[in-house]
Structure 1
Amino acid sequence: MKPVMVGALACQRDSFLFDRFKTLVVSCEPKKDKDSITKGYEIELQDTILFPEGGGQPSDSGFLKIVEGNDSSSINKKISVSHVSRSGLYAKHHVKEPIEPGVTVEITIDEVKRLDCMQQHTGQHLLSAVLENKYKVNTVSWSMGGIVTEKKPVLEPSDYFNYIELNRKLTEIEVTEISDDINRLIINFPQEITVVERVSEDDASEVNVSKMPDDYDLSKGVLRTIHIGNIDSNPCCGTHLKSTSQIGSILIITNQTAVRGSNSRLYFMCGKRVADHAKSIKKILSNSKELFRCSESQVPEKTERQCKQLQQLNKREQYWIRKLARFVSEDLKSTLEASEKKRAYFMEEEFGTLELLLQVFKELFVYLKEKFEVYEIIICGYERQTGTGSLLILSESGEKIFSLVAKLGSLLQNLKGGGGKNGGKWQGKITSISNAEFAALTNYLSHDFISC
């Protein structure tokens, strides 16, 4: 069995084949990590409707259902294909379980993902063609926006955008004109999209192959050219729509990002993404409107006002933190001077932020080094609302610090931190504190240290 080469795969010859495609397993090789442990398998099929990543388009994902093989108990078993890669001229399907060569499988693809990729990719071809034909602006590269995955099931509004890198920035007027031109080619004057395959013996000298992958041997492989009416003709391995009408719509924003000198990134999205993006923005806007108790048009004004108020509150908080830290540090100094063992502690039980603790340390640092040869200070804060805490241990001795760390660690299960190897300051964080742990900490400090 010889597999079909990338360029002539079933998914490339008919991009609307979504399921019930039967083929044979040609090979199945284990994927091993650096320790030679198998982390999955690469399966090569005789043909496939799962597109291997390429041309700026991500690979398809889907399932292989075993429909015929040596082990009758595995019939109808579905194996997930996480992604498909290209190795030279051939496609490799990445799976978690092996399938023996010679077994017949039926392929089903993620149809929603495929249609989305085709709308974005075909839209990019059309956008680049209009830019080149009308404005003589060249597309340097492009990148498709976010794809929904198990790790990221919900996209941010900005994730919906693709971008093309151009050799210059466009004006707002140009962006508006381009949007109108493309939407006319989608709605009023739809263009047929066709694919021409050239095998190695054909004369393909008129096709620009400069962007073909270096590891794809054109002398043996297949060169595909995507034609959009008489508007555009470009080599591409990706899956495409059959008509520009299937793009649905295009949204291009005027905001651009400067890259590599005078180059610019133009952001756009096509098809269903436009509606999905609108829904996500609408949800955010509606939530903001409810929080601010205002109309949608007032949200920016309210947000700006809240930001200014927050800045003022932060300045006020910083002022009172510094004030409180001075009082606490003076109390700690007095407590240490009166203590025989030179052991003192400070506890803030309500809003004991790390910022407050560090400010207290800042007020004490020079004084401790100049005034005391030995000392042990514990400064801790608890934030009741979040159930978390912060803790500083100060001493001239690293040995004393780590003895205290060990003791406190036995009381507080989620205490982690570092520093103080040679004395000075150990800084820790408690990610969660139970009532029993807080009581144990308070009891230990009140018995072994003097409260300031």
Structure 2
Amino acid sequence: MLKDRIYYEDAYQKTFISRILHTSKDVQDRPYAVLENTAFYPTGGGQPHDAGTLNGIIVIDVEEVDGEIRHFLAEALHSNDEVEGQVDWNRRFDHMQQHAGQHILTAAFVELFSFPTISFHLGKGLVSIDLDVEDISPEQLSAAERFANEIILENRPIQTKFITEDELQHYNLRKQLAVTDEIRLVIIPEFDYNGCGGTHPRSTGEVGLLKIISTEKQKRKIRVHFVCGNRVLDQLHRKHEELSTASKLLSAPEDGVAAAIDKLLETNRATEKSLEDAQEALLIFEAKELITRQTDSVIKASFTNRTVQELQKLARLLVGEGNDSIIALLTAENGDKIQFVAARGPSATASMKAVSAAVLPLVNGKGGGNDAFVQGGGEKTMSAVELADLMENSLQK
């Protein structure tokens, strides 16, 4: 029976001795052992499996398959009798803190705002619950977090018990149960009554502290990320290291990092604007130089490491006001890619789409535009100069 399993009888038991029922391998050739009884919690209900050792061999996974708990091992277990198990207590207690914290936070959302939790995930770094609501305010998050920590600080008992289906009527459960036999309840008296198969501490005080980290929208639901217990300290340590590093990089005190970043962003925006203005001035100068050197109505120019956006701006300047009859053919090599732009002035009659259609197959490329202005690119099957020559040849045809 479920209630006879060691991790349910005593979630604090770290070592145990059990008889081996059988050993085998799964379809992925992973060796596993099935024991008469175990303190290892198998993955389930949003809670990951326990870790540890059996006779010194590392337990890498624990799963319940067809009613038996399989302990997957780093290597085959060479024993046919008894085995000594050692549960990784740090991992077990962390899971107990996080899972109990989830019960408390979930109940807080229900108590304060009637926001039901529809799923729970206990990850390596963060824990998350999905609330069946489309939106949530910072004030609601703060209120739920504060209420949850009040329950933790009160150090209320956390009780677990197995009951029958007939006994369910005596408990005000938070949600409907999916099972009807061997029903296990986790109870925080006068606060939360919930069916659960996870491991939990004896009191809310052992959860330590709960901190909501962030939220995100997930398919018209709100996912709340949080941490409990020792993970709060881990998050605090990590964030303090980041803040300290940022403080040193910015040459600002830690409480002045935000102001220093604002100033840096303002300076960066001004620098970007100055750079854009300078680039625009250079393009205007470059266009004038190309027009000055032209000998006929076609201006060809080839470049290296020029973006198609720059080619487009330069082409528009070349065929702009006062240059009605000019046709601009610009190409550029960018790594293993080649790109081009073709543009004509208002009085030129050649079709730039025809130019694009002529050269795109040669570079296995794609492009778009109209008769007056096109752009495209593809593989660098030739140099930028050769591509420009082919574009000019297509005009003559």
Conserved 8 A contact 2:333-2:384: no
Conserved 8 A contact 2:18-2:84: yes
CA distance in 2, matches of 1:165, 1:11: 29
Change (3 A) 1:311 1:95: farther
Deviation at 1:288, TM superposition (A): 1.4
Deviation at 1:224, TM superposition (A): 1.0
- The residue aligned with 2:159 is 194
Instruction: Give the 3-state SS of the residue equivalent to 1:17 in structure 2.
Output: coil
Deviation at 1:80, TM superposition (A): 4.2
CA distance in 2, matches of 1:191, 1:292: 45
Conserved 8 A contact 2:40-2:62: yes
Deviation at 1:15, TM superposition (A): 1.6
CA distance in 2, matches of 1:173, 1:378: 55
Which residue identity lines up with residue 86 of structure 2 in the other structure? T
Residues 94-109 of structure 1 mapped to structure 2, 5 A cutoff: 94=72, 102=80, 104-109=82-87
Within the candidate set 126, 131, 139, 1:172 is matched to 139
Deviation at 1:14, TM superposition (A): 1.9
Indicate yes or no: 2:191 matched with 1:244.
no
Look at both structures and tell me which one has the larger radius of gyration over its CA atoms.
Answer: 2
- The residue aligned with 2:255 is 297
Instruction: Give the 3-state SS of the residue equivalent to 2:184 in structure 1.
Output: strand
Conserved 8 A contact 2:18-2:36: no
- The residue aligned with 1:140 is 117
Conserved 8 A contact 2:17-2:85: yes
CA distance in 2, matches of 1:331, 1:171: 58
Which residue identity lines up with residue 11 of structure 2 in the other structure? S
Deviation at 1:239, TM superposition (A): 0.5
- The residue aligned with 2:372 is none
Indicate yes or no: 2:333 matched with 1:379.
yes
Deviation at 1:299, TM superposition (A): 1.2
Change (3 A) 1:357 1:17: same
- The residue aligned with 2:26 is 30
Within the candidate set 72, 89, 107, 1:111 is matched to 89
Deviation at 1:196, TM superposition (A): 0.8
Indicate yes or no: 2:10 matched with 1:11.
no
- The residue aligned with 2:347 is none
CA distance in 2, matches of 1:390, 1:325: 25
Which residue identity lines up with residue 43 of structure 2 in the other structure? E
Indicate yes or no: 2:241 matched with 1:274.
no
CA distance in 1, matches of 2:31, 2:24: 6
- The residue aligned with 2:48 is 58
CA distance in 1, matches of 2:136, 2:386: 70
Indicate yes or no: 2:342 matched with 1:346.
no
Deviation at 1:190, TM superposition (A): 2.1
Which residue identity lines up with residue 300 of structure 1 in the other structure? A
CA distance in 2, matches of 1:51, 1:57: 9
Which residue identity lines up with residue 58 of structure 1 in the other structure? P
TM-score scaled by structure 2?
0.67
CA distance in 1, matches of 2:241, 2:74: 37
Q: Name structure 2 gaps, 5 residues minimum.
A: 320-325, 341-355, 369-374, 390-397
Residues 355-374 of structure 1 mapped to structure 2, 5 A cutoff: 356-362=306-312
Conserved 8 A contact 1:332-1:345: no
Instruction: Give the 3-state SS of the residue equivalent to 1:362 in structure 2.
Output: helix
Deviation at 1:238, TM superposition (A): 0.6
Residues 45-86 of structure 1 show CA distances to partners (whole Å, capped at 9, x for unaligned) of: 4333232233332333x2443x4xxxxxxxx5x2441x4344
Change (3 A) 1:378 1:126: closer
CA distance in 2, matches of 1:136, 1:358: 53
Change (3 A) 1:306 1:10: same
Which residue identity lines up with residue 15 of structure 1 in the other structure? A
* RMSD over equivalenced CA pairs, Å: 4.8
Conserved 8 A contact 1:328-1:360: no
Deviation at 1:330, TM superposition (A): 7.9
Residues 426-450 of structure 1 show CA distances to partners (whole Å, capped at 9, x for unaligned) of: 267xxxxxxxxxxxxxxx9999999
Residues 328-343 of structure 1 mapped to structure 2, 5 A cutoff: none
Residues 150-196 of structure 1 show CA distances to partners (whole Å, capped at 9, x for unaligned) of: xxxxxxxxxx46446266857738945x6555545444x42222211
CA distance in 2, matches of 1:206, 1:87: 32
Deviation at 1:115, TM superposition (A): 1.7
Residues 312-355 of structure 1 show CA distances to partners (whole Å, capped at 9, x for unaligned) of: 333333444455456667888999989xxx997533xxxx4xxx
Change (3 A) 1:399 1:260: closer
- The residue aligned with 1:127 is 105
Instruction: Give the 3-state SS of the residue equivalent to 1:310 in structure 2.
Output: helix
Deviation at 1:377, TM superposition (A): 5.0
CA distance in 1, matches of 2:17, 2:308: 65
Deviation at 1:137, TM superposition (A): 2.8
Change (3 A) 1:174 1:321: closer
Deviation at 1:225, TM superposition (A): 1.0
Which residue identity lines up with residue 84 of structure 1 in the other structure? V
Conserved 8 A contact 1:63-1:109: yes
Residues 199-221 of structure 1 show CA distances to partners (whole Å, capped at 9, x for unaligned) of: 68x744545596545xx6x44xx
* 119-128 or 313-322: bigger deviation: 313-322
CA distance in 2, matches of 1:101, 1:29: 15
Percent identity, aligned pairs only, is: 20
- The residue aligned with 1:307 is 265
Conserved 8 A contact 2:53-2:59: yes
Conserved 8 A contact 2:117-2:129: no
Conserved 8 A contact 1:357-1:379: no
TM-score scaled by structure 1?
0.61
Residues 251-266 of structure 1 mapped to structure 2, 5 A cutoff: 251-252=211-212
Conserved 8 A contact 2:164-2:183: yes
